[in-house]
Structure 1
Amino acid sequence: MTKKIIFRADGNSSTGLGHLYRLFSLVEIVKNEIEFIFLTQETSTDSIIPDDYEKKVIPRKITIVKEAEWIASNFSSDNYIIIADGYQFNSNYQKQIKQKHFRLIYIDDLANEHMYADVVINHSPYINSKDYSKENYTKLALGTKYALLRPLFLEETKQTRVINHLDKAFVCFGGADPFNLSLKAVQAMVPMNEFIELHVVLGGAYRHKEIFTLESKYPDKIKTYSNLSEAELIQVMRTCNFAIAPASTILYELSCVKMPILSGYFVDNQELIYKGFKDSEAIYQGKSMRDYDVSDFTSQIEKILNDRRFNDKIRSQRALFDEKITTRHLKIIKETALTIGILCSGGLGLDTLSKISVDYKIQFILTDSKSISIIEFAKKNSIPVFAGNPRNGKGYDFIKDFNTDIIASINYLFLIDEDIIEHAKLLTFNIHGSLLPKYRGRTPHVWAIINGEEKAGITAHIIDKGCDTGKIIEQIEVPINFENTGADILEKYAEAYYPLVKKVLTSTLSNRLEFKIQNEKDASYFGKRTPADGEIDWNLTKEDIRNWVRAQANPYPGAFTFNNNRKIIIDKVSFYNAIEISNYSNGEIIKAQPFVVVKTKNGALKLDNIRTEKCTFVKGNVLGNENRK
């Protein structure tokens, strides 16, 4: 079972459709990555919900007071998170949802309730954290860097635009337009010779008739639209070089396309957005439009026509948005949807850990006591950390109170007990440095080079009771080139580890995990290596010795031999085309100046890089352990 999202919003001609449309923007961001269901009340205008959304209706008889109980009886908090947009989802509602153990993201406008949600998103440019009363665990995502925009509008933010005159106007006042401000704005512009086209977008809940009469009277000047797709709406906006709209989602969208905008507010939730855009100097100030008549629009538009600082507004609009909005929203949702614990050690563990932390919230870290950089990372980022051997219940005692979905093990030094393996609700997996089932065990990339393999790789696999024996999730091949050392392969692994981890996490969220049982007939196991294991056997072939040396080259402890009772560490050797060497013993120095050449089973090797300094080599000496005294 994987994590899914419940998107929760209502809307109709009486309450307006803004909460539905705003939540659609988040759906569009995640729909190809995470499974979801759109949940709405029976009283909503559900015809505007896109056909490709899976939808479920809450019966009319279920009141807001009873809704948390109804949701809990129909959806498991282990499998779903909730993203809600609407004023009815107040403090009491949020508290009830949290008591049912759901994780909750709340889309807010007003900042007038105590927040119990895990995350609160408010994209008003005016709001700040001091405006909120909240629980200590509640995170705030505030400002236009969290703007709720559909994908094509996010693309529009990247475009530049220059406007020097106004002649084509865009008008939109939302789903219901209860004060018929669309009509009044159009009536103001019809007699103005400056405007040759008036494009009026009407919401799905719009019920007034006069605008259509006016359109039939001025068919060459007025054109009305309804039920536009995202792409169609952008196309209409691009046609225009001036707009009149309230401080709601449509204002954000117009600011992405960029043009001079007369904006104001007519309901409470628009006022904070209006103040933010006003302070940013991104709009012409219409203030409260609730009581506007035609003359008010006429006066405001005439001022704008005479102002002509259109491109100053456009520059201010452009500054409100950046290219990372989608990434931020995905990060918030993924962090809320998945709780992750990390087991890791060493530089590779730290590198991958730091990359995971950018996209996901990490609940805890288990590491070894010598991985100081990981311990420091945890403390710096306020992540609970356990450093030491986790076995015999020590690690489990540390993590048992965390409600964890996934545990990922990355270059971790220890095998873990079943209590830790079984703690994660969804998945406990490891990234192993080989193409399993080959090279189970320790330092597999070193063994792969020693054995002359032309490719290595990494495997994401389920952790079970055995050592690297669990079902395979994903694999990435990594080529071993002729000159590659063990350290070189580890650098390649560092580039591949996080993409593999991310793929597993993304597949978990989207319910696309596939598992493959390891074929035991193909399995091989290699044990832990120590520095003492690095001694060179000169009775091996030159190919085998070359692989032995490069596998353990600096910064690893290194392959070594003995010369006159002195340990010599060698980091690089190459094939040497020697003539008439059959009379020499394996390990014998057949050339000492200007470089050292040593006899092997089937040829000779030149010692290219000797780590040990100030070595003296004499032709005829035999390298090896037998020379130790």
Structure 2
Amino acid sequence: MKTKVYIRVDGNGDIGLGHLVRCIALGQMLKNGFKIYFFCKEVPETIISDIIANQFEFFKIREESEFLAILEGNEMVVLDNYFFEPSYQEQIKNLAGKLICIDDLHDKKFYADLIINHAPDTKANEYDAMLYTQFALGLEYALLRSFFLEQAKIGRQTNLIESVVICFGGSDPNNLTCKTLKVVLKEARIKKVSVIIGSAYRFRNDLINISSRYPHTSVFTAVSEEQMLKLMSTSDLAIVPSSGILLEALATGCRVISGIYTENQKFIFSQYKEAGFFVSAEDFSTMNIENALRTVLAKEGSAYKSLKIDGCSGERIFRIFNQLKLENEVELRYAEPDDLTITFNWAKDPIIRAFSFNRNEIKYSEHENWYLSKIKDNKCKFFIAQRNSEKLGSIRFDIEKGRAVISFLVDPKYHGLGLGQILLKKGLDKLIDEDLTINSVVGYVMPDNLASVKAFERLGYTKTIHNSNFEFIKLLNQQ
């Protein structure tokens, strides 16, 4: 039976529809292995149709208590809304199997098992999160709908700027659509203008009055994912806000003008602007739009910085959700004398030896002496990971003066399942339960041991260089 994923998300004319769209993208990434349910208090009918068309279950709720009441403890809950406070997260964490938060702002405490933030250059240390929290940060985890992920794999560079697409989301309460269109229509070299509006847009009559006077301008309402992709991928320039639609525009290879008109767009705006992915129209004043358009046209024909999205974020996120599901099946126990043989087999395995600091051949007698002394050592916490009767790997903490040095390995036949993260998370939980005097943990990793590097990075460890290797440190405040 597929694990249930409950997505709690809202969208309307005030907060926009970007949260809903990226949650649909997440559902598309997961639906082959998970059963997807949407729970919404506020959502337009057009989005409900999209949810149902993707074969997801949809439920309209009136109060948060309705949602909390259905949690049974074996589902995964995804939260995507700026208004879900830490106390609400904590309630869900205590009721559900796993909690995943999609975030842009890192402006509150998080109790999530996983935080997804696909803005470029986001760092785990920007978050106030739990020791167990795992991070999926940056463009490797772009929450793009399936058509846009496929387009991102193709890549595109535009030369001439002759066609423009304008889209300010589903509602555009400030009517930036009309303001921007008026600026674009003054530019004689633009031969085609496509304007996309949502069903919640209140200024349609004003827009039609303007666009109807210009035969090269077309207005499209509440377009499908496929039609949105077609309009963007056949346009040379996109003018969009710094919301979820910015990522879709960049994925199609358009040149982009972007700006900000609400407080919750500030981090996306600043990070993408700093990375040089668009020309800024700042607050979308008429003057700033004119200046941005002038800048883009002046650079016509020159190369520009395009977004590097490999189109594989769906596979990465799917693997992480499978890893979170697997966590519930894995237990750690203390290493015992009966584990001597399997720990020796792991230690001498060529794949394991390749990333060991000591690559000399290990003899059984040497391992026996070392292993039996370690499991008796009061300054060593040595755990074996198991799923039912399967032994999956080990993690060891060597402790001195409140500092624990981590060594872990995963049986090579179980590589690729995310067990490195599971060992680190569960091992740290065990360590803290056993010894409250520990104030920091540290791991040393060779730079070419990419799996271990990723495992530490995804759990928010701070990385530094130590004798040509990586040192990963996490300070413990015994949360």
**TM-score of the pair, normalised by structure 2:** 0.69
- Percent identity, please: 27
Displacement of 1:208 in angstroms is 1.0
Please state whether the residue corresponding to 1:287 is helix, strand or coil.
coil
Q: Which residue of 1 aligns with 2:288?
A: 296
Q: Which residue of 1 aligns with 2:341?
A: 370
Q: Which residue of 1 aligns with 2:7?
A: 7
Q: Which residue of 2 aligns with 1:20?
A: 20
Q: Which residue of 2 aligns with 1:233?
A: 228
Please state whether the residue corresponding to 1:369 is helix, strand or coil.
helix
Cα distance in 2 between the residues matched to 1:11 and 1:161: 31
After superposition, the Cα gap between the structure-2 partners of 1:58 and 1:207, relative to the gap in structure 1 and judged at 3 Å, is same
After superposition, the Cα gap between the structure-2 partners of 1:306 and 1:399, relative to the gap in structure 1 and judged at 3 Å, is closer
- Structure 2 residue corresponding to 1:73, chosen from 28, 51, 69: 69
1:215 equivalenced with 2:211 (yes/no): yes
Higher RCO (C-alpha 8 Å, min separation 6): 2
Q: Which residue of 1 aligns with 2:136?
A: 141
* Aligned ranges 1:68-217 → 2 under 5 Å: 69-78=65-74, 80-209=75-204, 210-217=206-213
Cα distance in 2 between the residues matched to 1:122 and 1:299: 31
Cα distance in 1 between the residues matched to 2:108 and 2:34: 29
Q: Which residue of 2 aligns with 1:603?
A: none
Displacement of 1:189 in angstroms is 1.2
After superposition, the Cα gap between the structure-2 partners of 1:328 and 1:54, relative to the gap in structure 1 and judged at 3 Å, is closer
Displacement of 1:2 in angstroms is 4.8
* Aligned ranges 1:476-515 → 2 under 5 Å: none
Q: Which residue of 1 aligns with 2:36?
A: 36
**Runs of 4+ more than 4 Å apart:** 362-367, 373-377
Cα distance in 2 between the residues matched to 1:131 and 1:411: 33
Cα distance in 2 between the residues matched to 1:270 and 1:221: 31
1:259 equivalenced with 2:254 (yes/no): yes
Structure 1: state its 5+ residue gaps: 343-361, 382-386, 389-397, 413-493, 503-629
Displacement of 1:213 in angstroms is 1.5
- Name the aligned partner's letter for residue 15 of structure 1: I
- Name the aligned partner's letter for residue 6 of structure 2: I
- Name the aligned partner's letter for residue 212 of structure 1: I
Please state whether the residue corresponding to 2:211 is helix, strand or coil.
helix
Cα distance in 2 between the residues matched to 1:408 and 1:260: 55
Q: Which residue of 1 aligns with 2:61?
A: 59
CA contact (8 A) 2:40 2:59 kept: yes
Displacement of 1:147 in angstroms is 1.1
CA contact (8 A) 2:38 2:58 kept: yes
Cα distance in 2 between the residues matched to 1:228 and 1:408: 52
CA contact (8 A) 1:121 1:140 kept: yes
Cα distance in 1 between the residues matched to 2:293 and 2:389: 59
* Aligned ranges 1:617-628 → 2 under 5 Å: none
Displacement of 1:113 in angstroms is 0.3
Please state whether the residue corresponding to 2:212 is helix, strand or coil.
helix
Cα distance in 1 between the residues matched to 2:135 and 2:415: 27
Please state whether the residue corresponding to 1:134 is helix, strand or coil.
coil
Larger radius of gyration: 1
Cα distance in 1 between the residues matched to 2:180 and 2:333: 56
Cα distance in 2 between the residues matched to 1:132 and 1:309: 41
Displacement of 1:55 in angstroms is 3.4
Please state whether the residue corresponding to 1:4 is helix, strand or coil.
strand
After superposition, the Cα gap between the structure-2 partners of 1:340 and 1:365, relative to the gap in structure 1 and judged at 3 Å, is farther
Q: Which residue of 2 aligns with 1:328?
A: 316
- Structure 2 residue corresponding to 1:224, chosen from 219, 240, 248: 219
Cα distance in 1 between the residues matched to 2:187 and 2:232: 20
Please state whether the residue corresponding to 1:312 is helix, strand or coil.
coil
CA contact (8 A) 2:72 2:95 kept: no
Please state whether the residue corresponding to 1:302 is helix, strand or coil.
helix
CA contact (8 A) 1:12 1:44 kept: yes
Displacement of 1:188 in angstroms is 0.6
CA contact (8 A) 1:341 1:365 kept: no
Displacement of 1:172 in angstroms is 0.7
Cα distance in 1 between the residues matched to 2:392 and 2:82: 47
Q: Which residue of 2 aligns with 1:339?
A: 327
Please state whether the residue corresponding to 1:195 is helix, strand or coil.
coil
Displacement of 1:236 in angstroms is 0.9
After superposition, the Cα gap between the structure-2 partners of 1:56 and 1:241, relative to the gap in structure 1 and judged at 3 Å, is closer
Q: Which residue of 1 aligns with 2:281?
A: 286
**TM-score of the pair, normalised by structure 1:** 0.53
CA contact (8 A) 2:162 2:190 kept: yes
Cα distance in 1 between the residues matched to 2:113 and 2:251: 29
Please state whether the residue corresponding to 1:179 is helix, strand or coil.
coil
Displacement of 1:271 in angstroms is 1.6
Please state whether the residue corresponding to 2:194 is helix, strand or coil.
strand
Cα distance in 2 between the residues matched to 1:25 and 1:308: 33
Q: Which residue of 1 aligns with 2:44?
A: 45
Cα distance in 2 between the residues matched to 1:374 and 1:273: 48
CA contact (8 A) 2:119 2:268 kept: yes
CA contact (8 A) 2:93 2:112 kept: yes
Cα distance in 1 between the residues matched to 2:148 and 2:217: 25
